[in-house]
Amino acid sequence: MREVTVSRFVPRSPPTLARMLTPEAMVEYEGSFEVRDVQDRTDGTFVTVGGRGVEFVLRFEETDDGLRYEQAGQAGPFDAMETAVTVDADSDGSTVTARSSVSLGLPLPSLTDRVAAWKRRGELERALDAVVEDC
């Protein structure tokens, strides 16, 4: 697995950002897939996403400082993917950090997982840039 981390300063308070960073919003902010269905259950929020001929489920859960999500099940572009988005108070706003681990589960993981991490970094940068724009 490869890990990538992206951070941005956002001129909003942590509670304001926590209200913005919903599971549906994170999928939309990343921009790679569309939300197709949302199910709130006792073990998390399950968001079915799809695009470009693929459909899979992400399981989201709230944390004390943000949210965490992962690809649920075997269907999806990754062998494994998990992401934590944290919001920390900063002077005159907050720092939002997205940290994701990805693996494609393919031969030559040193190469294939590096490519997956590169793509994932782009998604996270796009997501946090969109958060900043929304503020």
- What would the pLDDT profile of 4-43 be if each residue is shown by its tens digit? 999 999 999 999 999 999 999 999 999 999 999 999 999 9
Q: Which helix (H) or strand (E) holds 6?
A: strand 2-10
Q: Are strands 54-63 and 44-51 parallel, antiparallel or unpaired?
A: antiparallel
The reply to whether CATH 3.30.530.20 applies to domain 2-134 is yes
Between the alpha carbon of residue 42 and those of residues 3, 32, 71, the distances in Å are 28, 27, 17
What per-residue confidence (pLDDT) applies to 135? 87
The pTM of the full predicted model, rounded to 2 decimals, is 0.92
Tell me: the pLDDT tens digits for 84-128? 999 999 989 999 999 999 999 888 888 999 999 999 999 999 999
Q: Residues 22, 28, 30, 33: is their CA dihedral positive or negative?
A: positive
Tokens of 82: 């998990």
Could you give the CA distance from residue 14 to residue 22 in angstroms, rounded to a whole number? 13
Could you give the CA distance from residue 117 to residue 24 in angstroms, rounded to a whole number? 22
Phi first, then psi, for residue 6 (nearest 5°) are -135, 135
Could you give the CA distance from residue 20 to residue 18 in angstroms, rounded to a whole number? 5
Please check the confidence at residue 52 and state whether its pLDDT lies above 90: no
Cα angle, residue 97 at apex, residues 94 and 98 outer, rounded to 5°:
145
